[in-house]
Amino acid sequence: MIRDITIGQYYQAESKIHSLDPRVKLLGTLVFIISLFLGMNIWIYLVATIALIAVIKLSKVPFKFIIRGLKAIVVLILISAMFNLFLTPGTVILKVWKITITDRGLQTAVYMVIRLIYLIMGSSLMTLTTTPNNLTDGLEKGLGFLRVIKVPVHEIAMMMSIALRFIPILIDETDKIMKAQQARGADFETGNIIKRAKSMVPILVPLFISAFRRADDLAMAMEARCYHGSNGRTKMKPLRYKSADYKAYIAMAVYLGICITLNIVL
């Protein structure tokens, strides 16, 4: 189950999207999300769908891989669909006992589901095509202006990249601990949700201890290699815009322009 989560994972491939500057991809994701929330307009969604499919095709990430990331949030999607479906006022089109479905409800539910799915697809597409280090580099540089108001941008970016790097290691560790406890008769599979959640507690304790130990080791290794914050630090792979990045920015502006015009006109 844990392995299904593709959010924050990287898919290795050589594509135009992969080689884009991470700042472009970050802003692109933001633009895409904004366009989804512009309004409930079928034309906007049509444009968004075309854009999404085009980017997925360009990125060479298999469609299945992106869909797999949705599994983790199926419950969330269902709940929000349900709320919209049953609790929106409007003309009643179906009534069974106390449950009513209205036309407006149906419409918002459908839009909501599409919106959420696209949201996850769009953002996981960004993380799938950007290495964690690149991503944090992009955040560090893109949000560099926040340093003026004393936000420790570099430190936050460093923490993020280390956290991302340790995800697979900690997943392996969880697996090991679970197997070790199963071998001694621990039961994680039967019982109701509460019982299962309770049986996870003995996993968390050793996991936390080992995570702290690793953190301590890593901090020492970083210090031993002269790490002392962003002061006087140079970059091995500094971010530089290429011509493709400018083209991507133009494409983004055009996309947002179309969506806004559609929203106003229709």
Partner 1 sequence: MSIVKAKNLTFEYIRRDEEGNVESINKAIDDLNIEIEEGQFVAVLGHNGSGKSTFAKHLNVLVSPTEGSVWVDGMNTLEHENTLQIRQRAGMVFQNPDNQMICTVVDEEVGFGPENIGVPENEIWERVEKSLKSVGMYEYRNANPTKLSGGQKQRIAIAGIVAMKPKCIILDEPTAMLDPNGRKEVLKVLHELNEQEKVTIILITHYMEEVIEADKVFVIHEGKLQMQGTPREIFSQVERLKEYRLDVPQVTELAYELRKEGLDIRPGILYSNELISELKRIKEERNVDNSR
Q: Residues interacting with partner 1, by CB under 8 A?
A: 131-133, 161-162, 164-165, 168-169, 214, 217-218, 220-228, 232-238
User: Do residues 124 and 117 make contact, with C-beta atoms less than 8 angstroms apart?
Assistant: no
Burial tier of 114 (Cβ tally within 10 Å: 0-12, 13-18, 19+): middle
Q: What is the DSSP letter of 166?
A: H
Q: Tokens 């990287």 appear where?
A: 10
Of 184 and 240, CB closest to partner 1: 240
Of 145 and 227, CB closest to partner 1: 227
Of 98 and 228, CB closest to partner 1: 228
Helices (H), 88-192: 103-129, 132-142, 153-183
What is the nearest approach in angstroms of partner 1 to the Cβ of residue 59? 19
Of 82 and 219, CB closest to partner 1: 219
Q: Give me the residues paired with residue 100 across strands.
A: 95
Q: Tokens 């918002």 appear where?
A: 108
What is the nearest approach in angstroms of partner 1 to the Cβ of residue 209? 14
Burial tier of 120 (Cβ tally within 10 Å: 0-12, 13-18, 19+): buried
What is the nearest approach in angstroms of partner 1 to the Cβ of residue 144? 17
What is the nearest approach in angstroms of partner 1 to the Cβ of residue 124? 18
What is the nearest approach in angstroms of partner 1 to the Cβ of residue 214? 5
Q: How far is CA 231 from the centre of its chain?
A: 30
Of 82 and 220, CB closest to partner 1: 220
